[in-house]
Amino acid sequence: MTCVICDACKKSIPSPHRERNYNTLLNRDLCLDCYGKLENGIKEVMGTKREFHVNEHNNVRKDLLYRMTR
Query: Interface with Zn ion by CB under 5 A: which residues?
Result: 6, 8-9, 31, 34
* Minimum CB distance to Zn ion smaller for 8 or for 60: 8
* Minimum CB distance to Zn ion smaller for 21 or for 49: 21
| Shortest CB 53 distance to Zn ion, Å | 28
> Could you tell me if 57 and 46 are in contact, meaning their C-beta atoms sit under 8 angstroms apart?
yes
- Looking at the DSSP bridge assignments, the partners of residue 4 are 13
* Minimum CB distance to Zn ion smaller for 10 or for 49: 10
What is the distance between the alpha carbons of residues 2 and 37, in angstroms, rounded to a whole number? Answer: 25
